[in-house]
């Protein structure tokens, strides 16, 4: 395996175009912290499978265009080479590409918006990388979230783009008893949990969820394990507190927790019993932040995207020097390097 890795490395060193393709594939994996082109390839397949199953295969194309434009923009802006090669400029634009086509009508106008949005996402990535460097904290998927919020909110004011599948703006209302889960069905629940994994890429498909778990395991078994922990824990807690059943079924309470679980459980801290405890508190907090953002964004008709993961993980990473026993700090630094996560 490491031999194959070495050969692939040598090939990418020689050919600029293959290097670019490699950077794009790694970008697909970096959404979930995996600096591995094979993981990225499997994830792109998962996205296409899920999108095609929902009759919107062009969303897969949007992901590919997003990652290509974002990565090319990094080249144009003369960004840091090491980060470029690790796919650090591809993962947020990839998600921007998916979000535009998921929430807005697919027209020539929305494709143009997607391309501009993907390029701007790379500028935002550079901006937040520089901003957060002060504290050694990563931007995570926030460049995607911020740019996509702007694009989706802007669609209201541009008649030729239109608001498409965005929810109608409404004042928040408390979830009623009828909308909360009455009974638990183990089979339904397991598809909900797998949907929770695929929703990281805005796809609600349990098959895609399984492919994504495989893509994680190819590069890091810890990552696959914590992804499962994240979606299982958050789905069960959402069920316990009486969250809306339809949202649980689609995995919408799972995806942010999946990312928090991986980030806190095995990327920025070294796995241990204590860290698992911290990560669990982080998962619970992610669920709270997500519910809060759902309430907050209701009057605007937009979704919270992966913001709950970003906000909760930032809050659990910022205190790093005090938060965990000493050995973890070193891991924090190592982790950043190991997984190819740098300042961005």
H helices within the chain, ranges in order? 2-14, 16-30, 37-53, 58-76, 81-85, 91-103, 108-132, 142-155, 186-198, 206-219, 221-240, 245-249, 255-262, 273-297, 307-317, 320-323, 326-338
Q: Which is nearer to its own copies, 213 or 328 (CB)?
A: 328
* CA within 13 Å, CB half, 214: 13
Q: Which is nearer to its own copies, 8 or 278 (CB)?
A: 278
Alpha-carbon distances, residue 106 vs 45, 166, 236, 305 (angstroms): 21, 13, 35, 19
SS3 call for 244:
strand
Smallest separation (angstroms) from its own copies to the CB of 206: 23
**Contact with its own copies (CB under 8 A): which of 2, 134, 183, 187?**
134
Smallest separation (angstroms) from its own copies to the CB of 3: 34
CA dihedral sign, ordered 106, 109, 110, 111: positive
Q: Which is nearer to its own copies, 55 or 176 (CB)?
A: 176
**Contact with its own copies (CB under 8 A): which of 20, 91, 103, 128?**
128
**Contact with its own copies (CB under 8 A): which of 8, 57, 77, 222?**
77
Told to check if 272 binds its own copies by CB under 8 A, we report no
**Contact with its own copies (CB under 8 A): which of 28, 31, 42, 119?**
119
Say which residues have a Cβ less than 8 Å from residue 9's Cβ, sequence separation at least 6.
none
Q: Which is nearer to its own copies, 113 or 197 (CB)?
A: 113
Q: Which is nearer to its own copies, 88 or 216 (CB)?
A: 88
Told to check if 163 binds its own copies by CB under 8 A, we report yes
Rounded Cα distance, 175 and 244, in Å: 7
Told to check if 162 binds its own copies by CB under 8 A, we report yes
The interface with its own copies within residues 238-267 (CB under 8 A) comprises 240-244
Told to check if 275 binds its own copies by CB under 8 A, we report no
**Contact with its own copies (CB under 8 A): which of 52, 276, 288, 336?**
288
**Contact with its own copies (CB under 8 A): which of 43, 61, 79, 232?**
79
Rounded Cα distance, 25 and 45, in Å: 11
Smallest separation (angstroms) from its own copies to the CB of 266: 19
Told to check if 140 binds its own copies by CB under 8 A, we report no
- 153 within 8 A of 113, measured Cβ to Cβ: no
Alpha-carbon distances, residue 173 vs 116, 164, 241 (angstroms): 35, 23, 16
Give the residue among 269, 267, 245, 263 at the shortest CA–CA distance from 189.
Answer: 245
The interface with its own copies within residues 20-59 (CB under 8 A) comprises none
SS3 call for 180:
strand
Smallest separation (angstroms) from its own copies to the CB of 11: 27
Smallest separation (angstroms) from its own copies to the CB of 44: 27
Q: Which is nearer to its own copies, 271 or 301 (CB)?
A: 301
- 117 within 8 A of 92, measured Cβ to Cβ: no
Told to check if 80 binds its own copies by CB under 8 A, we report yes
């Amino acid at each position: 395996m490491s031999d194959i890795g070495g050969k692939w490395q040598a090939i990418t060193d020689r050919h600029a175009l293959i290097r670019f393709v490699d950077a794009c594939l790694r970008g697909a994996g970096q959404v979930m912290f995996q600096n591995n082109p094979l993981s990225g390839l499997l994830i792109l397949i998962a996205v296409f499978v899920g999108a095609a199953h929902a009759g919107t295969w062009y969303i897969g194309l949007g992901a590919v265009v997003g990652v290509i434009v974002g990565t090319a923009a990094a080249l144009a802006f003369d960004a840091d080479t090491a980060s470029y090669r690790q796919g650090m400029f591809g993962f947020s634009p990839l998600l921007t590409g998916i979000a535009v086509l998921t929430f807005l009508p697919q027209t020539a106008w929305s494709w143009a918006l997607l391309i501009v949005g993907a390029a701007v996402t790379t500028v935002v990535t550079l901006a937040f990388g520089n901003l957060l460097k002060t504290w050694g904290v990563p931007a995570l998927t926030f460049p995607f979230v911020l740019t996509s919020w702007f694009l989706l909110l802007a669609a209201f004011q541009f008649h030729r783009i239109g608001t498409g599948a965005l929810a109608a703006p409404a004042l928040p209302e408390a979830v009623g008893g009828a909308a909360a889960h009455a009974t638990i069905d183990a089979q339904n629940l397991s598809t909900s949990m797998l949907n929770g994994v695929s929703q990281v890429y805005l796809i609600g498909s349990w098959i895609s969820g399984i492919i994504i778990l495989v893509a994680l395991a190819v590069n890091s078994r810890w990552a696959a394990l914590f992804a499962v922990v994240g979606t299982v824990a958050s789905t069960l807690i959402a069920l316990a507190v009486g969250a809306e059943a339809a949202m649980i079924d689609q995995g919408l309470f799972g995806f942010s927790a999946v990312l928090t679980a991986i980030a806190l459980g095995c990327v920025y801290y070294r796995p241990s019993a204590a860290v698992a405890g911290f990560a669990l508190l982080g998962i619970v907090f992610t669920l709270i932040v997500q519910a809060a953002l759902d309430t907050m964004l209701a009057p605007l008709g937009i979704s919270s995207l992966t913001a709950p993961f970003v906000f909760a993980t930032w809050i659990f990473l910022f205190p790093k020097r005090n938060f965990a026993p000493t050995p973890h700090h070193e891991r924090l630094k190592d982790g950043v390097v190991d997984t190819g996560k740098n300042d961005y």
